[in-house]
Amino acid sequence: MCKQHVNSILQILEETFPHAYCELHFSNPFELLIATILSAQTTDQKVNEVTAELFAQYPTPEKMLELTPSQLEGKIKKIGLFRTKAQHILETCRILVDKYQGNVPQDLHKLIELPGVGRKTAGVVLANAFGIPAFPVDTHVLRVSKRLGLSAHEDPFKVEKDLTSVISPDLWIDTHHRMIFLGRRICSAKKPRCKDCPLASLCPNHGDGSF
């Protein structure tokens, strides 16, 4: 895809969603890390409902470790895969305390070594907690990228490589958020609102009913 075409997409995304942001609620890097672990296969809205009370009582890894696995499960049971997530959260908290003095590392490779943390989660934390350029690829970014012809891959890492090769690092974070906003509000998985899409004229799959 030519650079001019990509720039046109980026410009329209900026005009349409100038203030796109991370919709998970958090007040420190630890809270964002936990919220993002919880968000796998769960809506941000549901995560925010659960973490409002959880973070009020347990805002640090040290405090979180006061909970037993069953107690934590009880507090996050509204979220899918809550048992596995509770185990990962407590294991992650232990590592943060033992290895990083309770701090969340600002390094991709150190983050993905934590239980329950993949490349997407690590990228979300780096971008939103620390302002470090990253381009996390979730289901929305993957879907929008494919429909717009920005990537033909299904593997998130390959999609990330495609996107970061044509988009300037200083635009990675904002573009990530804008693509998510587009995916959630217009370019939905089952019934994309192509008639309402500001990118329709640039989309090779505009109006394709196969999605």
Alpha-carbon torsion (96, 61, 139, 141), positive or negative: negative
Longest dimension (CA), the chain: 54
125 neighbors 104 (Cβ within 8 angstroms): yes
DSSP code per residue over 3-37:
HHHHHHHHHHHHHH-TT----S--SSHHHHHHHHH
**Nearest-angstrom CA–CA distance, 40 and 77:** 14
**Nearest-angstrom CA–CA distance, 153 and 140:** 14
58 neighbors 66 (Cβ within 8 angstroms): yes
**Nearest-angstrom CA–CA distance, 120 and 184:** 17
182 neighbors 199 (Cβ within 8 angstroms): yes
Active site residues: 120, 138
Short-list 75, 69, 78, CA closest to 115: 69
